[in-house]
Amino acid sequence: QKWVLNFGGGSAEGRADMRNLLGGKGANLAEMSNLGLPVPPGFTITTEVCTWYYDHGETYPDGLKAQVDEGLREIEAKVGEARFGSPELPLLVSVRSGARASMPGMMDTVLNLGLNDETVQGLAKASGDERFAWDSYRRFIQMYSDVVLGVGHEHFEELLEVHKEDLDVTLDTEIEADQWQILVERYKARVQEETGAPFPQDVHDQLWGAIGAVFGSWMNQRAVTYRHLHNIPREWGTAVNVQAMVFGNMGETSCTGVAFTRDPSSGEKQWYGEYLINAQGEDVVAGIRTPQQLTIAAKKLARGNKPAMEESMPELYAELVKVFERLEGHYRDMQDIEFTVQRGKLWLLQTRSGKRTAAAAVRIAVEMVHEGLIGEEEAVGRVDPAALDQLLHPMPDPKAPRKVIATGLAASPGAAAGKVVFEADEAEAMAQKGEKVILCRIETSPEDIHGMHAAKGILTARGGTTSHAAVVARGMGRPCVSGAGSLRIDSKKGQMLAGQTVVQKYDMITIDGSTGEVILGEVPTIEPELTGQFADLMVWADKVRRLKVRTNAETPADAETARKFGAEGIGLCRTEHMFFEADRIALVRQMILAGDKAGREKALAKILPMQRDDFVQLFRIMAGLPVTVRLLDPPLHEFLPKTDQDLASVAYATGMDVDELRQRAMSLHEFNPMLGHRGCRLGITFPEIYEMQARAIFEAAIAVGKELGETVVPEVMIPLVGTKPELEILKRKVEAVAATVAKENGADEIRYLVGTMIELPRAALRAGEIAEAADFFSFGTNDLTQTTFGISRDDAGSFMDAYIRGGILPTDPFVTLDQDGVGELVEIASERGRRTRPDLKLGICGEHGGDPASIAFCEKVGLDYVSCSPYRVPIARLAAAQAAL
Ligand code: ADP
Ligand code: MG
Ligand code: MG
């Protein structure tokens, strides 16, 4: 079997579409080689080796060693004279991980491998630059020790600091060859102390050590967390790329950089990137030295004073621009490119589809359609629906007063306010308690991922827009301001200094990742404008999608927001929310606590006009679009008076005795209210409640119908039905009310639908007969998930995390529909329901209605619509379109 594929020197054995086998990095290195671009030669050890490695007790398949040796010989042949391990002219390689999906910062790369006490001399001679050779060696020892031997960076940084103090220099670039050499000895001694063994001198041991470390890192905590957050299965494995080194640290005609073919933050079509002269590899992204801009325009914007590459290396810049055009045209997507210039020669080290903010994703997709690069449907497929969330949320009100205490780089857009915390662990702990926090760090590292995820926003004092914090924040959709250089963060003291202002831990700040501003206190926000490119994309999405998108809304404000976002009706109007309003709750209590039907009816008569008015408003806003109203659902329990004062006010209103009321309230107490006296069971025992609600709905429909000059056809939904008789009985009551209201209004008939929620497993299974009494089903997948799993959503917090971390459940079933179990019930109910009644309308109205993966499932099952919260409507429109593609 072929475990190793070669690339470089104008051709490759792999291709871009082999990313499953070669990982993203390997596949694209192969593709760039095939395009004839200058790629240092190398080979990729396939992801199958990783899988094999973990299936076979962390050992390698037979034949791998020979193939790796062969790969090394291929590299040697392509580079010319250098040989791996040669003391005269050594070939150095990098060992780079590369999974199918890019995992920034997760897996570690080792550069300059092949250096030892002998080969360093050869490198010095061959390059004619002793300083460079020893600088490379010390970098290699540090990187290799950190990644492979487990001797952390801090050891070497400490030794370097002491060394600089001894030499009385501040910059690395001031250190000469002989001084690096002394430091190398100290580095090696430290490795010996820490590991009990000398730093490996055999270059083949070095190579296999690094390969093992890459495979090993697939299972490290950071990688596992990242995979978990991004739903990447562990079976995918990582590939390993071994590639001839090129050197950006060979003096002033050398550099290393990263570039995007469009601005990853705004999406604007302009080359965008950063580079560092006389530097290697990670120097640019690590945020240690502040990099310089690629283009003059960007330099001006950033008010930089160091020359842009366009100025300092105009010919190479022009060559690079040709490569950008070539790669973007070839991949037909925005590329994120890593390059190095070695003594005036350009080399490409990586290309991939660039990570981008949601705003940039939309802009790039739409502009690429206008440029003729991609089609409309392809554009629809390009934007991650979940990421749209970033665009749909409020921004800081430009008119609100704000006290800007620092300005950094606009690294990931959107505004976020929260309490200042300085440690990732604390961010996580506070978020779990429901606090909004902003994680403030000097710079972030992969160890901070969990804290970044928990925070509402991220603020760093150091690092560019390609720094770790910026890249990860954009990927997570968290607003981020990076490189706010004027901040003095002192996490030990629990405070940060912004000029004259002292910000203490837990003080409230607002960051604006679109402008880079850091503002003291919480700034009011305004709604986003959903026009321009966003609107274009939505139009294209709407052309493709089959599923309708409705909203869950009961207030006029929510209904209006949803309409603005393109909702095509209301899929769930929860009437109980209307009952909880301050001026009504007393009447509701009065009704519940009434000793008899007459008492209840008296209270209901007072509620009726209010409820009717609610529906009038909703029907008006929805202007003829379908509106599904769910009759009262929650346990009566939830409305009971909680305090003596509550009781007293009910007593006053009803003239009932307080003690009698207390007795009655106690008798309504339930042990398991969610499985108790709720849903249609209320309708069965207190039919007058549902009758009042039905009347309110029909009267409102008639009134608004007259206003609009068209018939409003409300959809009346009976909750928590488990048996056909429940639905039949209540449906008859609704019909009777409809007939009465029609007569009272001199109308021939009122048009409406009656249906039910499917939220109990029994209802799903008996859907065939229940459909005989139903015009529609709406899957209430929140309750259906609770009742199928027997897990209470409100109490799942204490164990859900352990379940997901332990791999017992792949994701939280209350967020993403459990397609295997709950989903099967949905399928069964749809199928049996439609067999009885082919025109049965089917929809979903749980939280899942706004979750892209769940929406894809709804498309597959053939539901008619999804219904979700107002802010998720555009997400659902796009997800529904993608599901239909
Ligand atoms: P990551 O996946 O974290 O981006 P990479 O494998 O791309 O890691 O390596 C990080 C950096 O190391 C690259 O951006 C590049 O600058 C440098 N690098 C990797 N391989 C080589 C090489 N063969 N020659 C020179 N620099 C290299
Ligand atoms: Mg890295
Ligand atoms: Mg890289």
* pLDDT tens digits along 222-281: 788 788 777 788 889 999 999 999 999 888 999 999 999 999 988 999 999 999 998 887
State the distance between the two ends of the chain, measured CA to CA, in whole angstroms: 37
CA of 499 to the centre of ligand 2 (A): 33
Q: What is the ipTM of this complex?
A: 0.96
Mean pLDDT of 132-148: 94
The atom of ligand 1 lying closest to the CA of 243 is: 23
Q: What is the pLDDT of residue 363?
A: 95
Q: What is the pLDDT of residue 439?
A: 97
CA of 328 to the centre of ligand 1 (A): 20
246 CB within 6 A, ligand 1: yes
For residue 77, CA distances in Å to 81, 91, 319 come to: 8, 11, 26
Mean pLDDT of 783-796: 89
Residue with tokens 């994703």: 361
CA of 479 to the centre of ligand 1 (A): 27
Distance CA 140, CA 155 (A): 14
pLDDT greater than 70 at residue 748: yes
Mean pLDDT of 691-710: 96
Give me the chain's average pLDDT, please. Answer: 91
40 CB within 6 A, ligand 1: yes
Mean pLDDT of 604-624: 95
pLDDT greater than 70 at residue 296: yes
Tokens of residue 362, six digits: 């939309």
Q: Give the chain's domains with CATH numbers.
A: 4-244 (3.30.1490.20), 255-356 (3.30.470.20), 394-526 (3.50.30.10), 545-884 (3.20.20.60)
How many Cβ atoms sit within 10 Å of the Cβ of residue 581?
12
User: Nearest Cα to 215, choosing from 344, 402, 23, 362?
Assistant: 23
Query: 468 an active-site residue?
Result: yes
Distance CA 560, CA 570 (A): 11
Confidence of residue 286 (pLDDT cuts 50, 70, 90): low
17 compared with 390, residue with greater pLDDT: 17
The atom of ligand 1 lying closest to the CA of 40 is: 23
Distance CA 446, CA 302 (A): 27
For residue 74, CA distances in Å to 5, 32, 40 come to: 11, 18, 12
Contacting residues for 476 by C-beta, under 8 A, at least 6 apart: 229, 452, 453
Q: What is the pLDDT of residue 628?
A: 98
CA of 471 to the centre of ligand 2 (A): 12
Distance CA 485, CA 616 (A): 55
The atom of ligand 1 lying closest to the CA of 102 is: 2
The three-class DSSP label of residue 357 is coil
pLDDT greater than 60 at residue 106: no
HSE (side-chain half, CA atoms, 13 Å) at 382: 32
* pLDDT tens digits along 479-522: 899 989 889 999 899 999 998 899 999 999 999 988 899 999 99
The answer to whether the beta carbons of residues 92 and 124 sit under 8 Å apart is no
User: Nearest Cα to 693, choosing from 630, 754, 766?
Assistant: 630
Please report, rounded to a whole number, the percentage of residues in the chain having pLDDT higher than 70: 98
Q: Which of 110-124, 478-492, 722-736 has the lowest mean pLDDT?
A: 478-492
The answer to whether the beta carbons of residues 226 and 106 sit under 8 Å apart is yes
Contacting residues for 567 by C-beta, under 8 A, at least 6 apart: 549, 550, 551, 553, 625, 870, 873
The three-class DSSP label of residue 442 is coil
Distance CA 520, CA 528 (A): 22
The atom of ligand 1 lying closest to the CA of 258 is: 14
The atom of ligand 1 lying closest to the CA of 97 is: 6
Mean pLDDT of 629-640: 88
Contacting residues for 808 by C-beta, under 8 A, at least 6 apart: 802
Distance CA 884, CA 380 (A): 11
How many Cβ atoms sit within 10 Å of the Cβ of residue 555?
16
| Residue nearest atom 18 of ligand 1, based on CA coordinates | 281
How many Cβ atoms sit within 10 Å of the Cβ of residue 599?
16
Q: What is the pLDDT of residue 285?
A: 61
Distance CA 511, CA 114 (A): 46
The three-class DSSP label of residue 740 is helix
Contacting residues for 827 by C-beta, under 8 A, at least 6 apart: 861
Q: Which of 573, 845, 858, 868 is catalytic?
A: 845
For residue 680, CA distances in Å to 145, 384, 471, 561, 659 come to: 67, 39, 50, 30, 30
DSSP string of 86-138, one letter each residue: -SSSEE-EEEEEEESS--TTTS--EEEET--TTHHHHHHHHHT-HHHHHHHHH
* pLDDT tens digits along 557-599: 889 989 999 999 999 999 987 887 666 888 888 888 887 889 8
Confidence of residue 199 (pLDDT cuts 50, 70, 90): very high
| Residue nearest atom 24 of ligand 1, based on CA coordinates | 245
* pLDDT tens digits along 828-873: 999 999 999 999 999 999 879 989 999 999 999 999 999 998 888 9
Q: Which of 101-105, 234-238, 536-540, 693-697 has the lowest mean pLDDT?
A: 101-105
Q: What is the pLDDT of residue 846?
A: 80
What number of residues does the chain have?
A: 885
The answer to whether the beta carbons of residues 346 and 37 sit under 8 Å apart is no
DSSP string of 617-632, one letter each residue: HHHHHHTTS-EEEEPP
Q: What is the DSSP letter of 145?
A: I
pLDDT greater than 80 at residue 469: yes
Measured at the CA of 540, the angle between CA 536 and CA 545, to 5 degrees, comes to 140
| Residue nearest atom 2 of ligand 1, based on CA coordinates | 104
CA of 415 to the centre of ligand 3 (A): 29
Alpha helices (H) in 248-312, listed in sequence order: 283-286, 296-301, 309-312
Rounded to the nearest 10°, the torsion over CA 317, 322, 327, 332 is: 120
Mean pLDDT of 81-87: 95
pLDDT greater than 90 at residue 198: yes
243 CB within 6 A, ligand 1: yes
CA of 367 to the centre of ligand 1 (A): 31
Contacting residues for 8 by C-beta, under 8 A, at least 6 apart: 29, 33, 39, 40, 41, 42, 75, 78, 243, 244
Please state the pTM of the whole predicted model. Answer: 0.80
Rounded to the nearest 10°, the torsion over CA 647, 648, 650, 656 is: 100
Mean pLDDT of 356-371: 94
Cross-strand bridge partners of residue 417: 510
234 compared with 338, residue with greater pLDDT: 338
587 CB within 6 A, ligand 1: no
Q: Which of 453, 468, 637, 848 is catalytic?
A: 468
Which one of 338, 339, 345 would you pick to mutate in the ligand 1 pocket, going by the greatest count of ligand atoms within 8 A of its CB? 338
Tokens of residue 113, six digits: 């491998």
CA of 340 to the centre of ligand 1 (A): 9
- Return the sign of the alpha-carbon dihedral for residues 528, 529, 530, 533: negative
Q: Which ligand is nearest to the CA of 94?
A: 1
94 CB within 6 A, ligand 1: yes
DSSP string of 147-200, one letter each residue: III---HHHHHHHHHHHHHHHT--SGGG--HHHHHHHHHHHHHHHHHHHSSPPP
Q: Which of 69-83, 405-419, 617-631, 763-777 has the lowest mean pLDDT?
A: 405-419
Contacting residues for 158 by C-beta, under 8 A, at least 6 apart: none
Q: What is the pLDDT of residue 107?
A: 61
114 compared with 647, residue with greater pLDDT: 114
39 CB within 6 A, ligand 1: no
Mean pLDDT of 399-416: 87
The answer to whether the beta carbons of residues 313 and 296 sit under 8 Å apart is no
Query: 845 an active-site residue?
Result: yes
